[in-house]
Amino acid sequence: MSPVDGRTGAEPTKASASQRAYGWIRDAILSGEYAEGEFIDEVALAARVNTSRTPVREALQRLQVERYVDLLPRRGAQVRVVTAVEMREIYQARFVLESDALRTICQREAGMPESARALIEEMERAGEARDWNGFAQLDQLFHSEIVRHQRNAVIAELYDALQPRQVRLGTRTLVEVPSRLATIEREHRELVAALDRNDANECVEVLRRHLREIPELVDAFSTARGTAPA
């Protein structure tokens, strides 16, 4: 095979296999095929993804960095358990970053970014289909587009670093309490309206409600895996 960018032709194949394994494992975790706390069998996984174990290990290392799994010595990869404490910390981090973005956008009188507005109906279609993972991914993108509208690249990068945990949390939230969907959708539209009015105080108040702790969720995240309430 001819070299590609100074490398052998085998290397792109290896990278492709690693990427394929990464996507497959990530989607299986988000969809619940691999439950929280479950150990992932590398041999069985390699067979399912139709690759060797090396790309699977590389994918698991990346997933550990993104906090989907924990790699335990002599035990392998275990799907991370999202706890009530982590849920609270994600909400707190999001509130700090998003509220600052909302205030800045209103100060500039920039209104709702069209890139975010365009996602509302798509999110609601995912909700109607009970595609919780699809909804969670669109929801993260919706909020990310608002943060990006602040025009601070560093803050946008910090916000997007939460993406894997935010999507997992959003997916599990709707799995545990699907009745939250109507409230989430209503608050999205309230946020759009407040941003269009450049009403910073109302934007922050809607966000505060949007990210508040729900007792049913705290209970579910605290007790579903046998952990003590936070």
| Per-residue H/E/C for 127-158 | HHCCCHHHHHHHHHHHHHHHHHCCCCHHHHHH
What are 134-151's pLDDT values in tens digits?
A: 999 999 999 999 999 999
User: What pLDDT is attached to residue 39?
Assistant: 92
Rounded to the nearest integer, the mean pLDDT of the chain is 86
Reference 32, options 101, 126, 138, 133; nearest CA is 133
Greater confidence, 11 or 124? 124
Residue 60: band (very low, low, confident or very high) from pLDDT cuts 50, 70, 90: very high
What are 215-227's pLDDT values in tens digits?
A: 666 766 666 543 4
State whether the Cα torsion 66-172-94-116 is positive or negative.
positive
Question: Does the domain spanning 85-223 belong to CATH 3.90.1150.10?
Answer: no
User: What pLDDT is attached to residue 26?
Assistant: 86
Report, as an integer, the average pLDDT of 67-81. Answer: 89
Q: Which CATH number applies to 10-79?
A: 1.10.10.10
User: What pLDDT is attached to residue 6?
Assistant: 39
Which structure tokens are listed for 211? 């990210």
Q: Decide if pLDDT at 10 tops 80.
A: no
Cβ contacts of 103 within 8 Å, gap of 6 or more: 200, 203, 204
Report, as an integer, the average pLDDT of 2-11. Answer: 39
Residue 27: band (very low, low, confident or very high) from pLDDT cuts 50, 70, 90: confident
User: What pLDDT is attached to residue 222?
Assistant: 66
Q: Decide if pLDDT at 13 tops 90.
A: no
User: What pLDDT is attached to residue 34?
Assistant: 86
User: What pLDDT is attached to residue 4?
Assistant: 35
User: What pLDDT is attached to residue 85?
Assistant: 86
Q: How far is CA 67 from the centre of its chain?
A: 11
What are 171-200's pLDDT values in tens digits?
A: 888 988 899 999 999 999 999 999 999 999
Q: Decide if pLDDT at 78 tops 50.
A: yes
Exposure letters 80-101 (e unless 16+ CB within 10 A, then b) = bbbbbebbeebbebbbebbbeb
DSSP annotation string for 182-201: HHHHHHHHHHHHHHHTT-HH
What is the residue extent of each domain of the chain? Answer: 10-79, 85-223
Report, as an integer, the average pLDDT of 56-78. Answer: 90
What are 86-133's pLDDT values in tens digits?
A: 888 999 999 999 999 999 999 999 999 999 999 999 999 999 999 998
User: What pLDDT is attached to residue 15?
Assistant: 56
